[in-house]
Amino acid sequence: MTEKPRPPADYNPGPPPASHLVWGIVSAILCCLPFGALSIYQAAKVEKLWAQGDPEAAHEAARDAKRWAVVAAVAGAVLWVAAIVTIVLLFGTLTDDAASN
């Protein structure tokens, strides 16, 4: 494996990208744990990659963290809606059965 060339001493790529760690944690807790966990994992890599001098990989990890947080939020919303619809339908069926007896 070849080593990447080091940037010059005066190289300053600017501030690191936002890691979206908070969104990953929130989406893991409130929405969908597996996808939220992937978001947290990618967010944790951002600072490490930035410190290693690999800004492209850090930006890619930040994009992946955001993408997985959005996927977790959408999956969580779908699961919550499905659960509510199921409960409403089940409750309606139970009350119809009770009323017919």
pLDDT tens per residue across span 6-29: 666 666 667 889 999 999 999 999
Q: Measured between alpha carbons, how far is 69 from 35 in angstroms, rounded to an integer?
A: 7
Q: How confident is the model at residue 63 (pLDDT cuts 50, 70, 90)?
A: very high
Q: What is the pTM of this model?
A: 0.75
Residue 97 has pLDDT above 70, yes or no: no
Dist. CA 63–CA 45, nearest whole Å: 11
The rounded distance, in Å, linking the Cα atoms of 101 and 88 is 20
Angstrom distance (rounded) from CA 21 to CA 27: 10
For helices 55-100 and 21-30, give the axis angle rounded to 10 degrees.
20
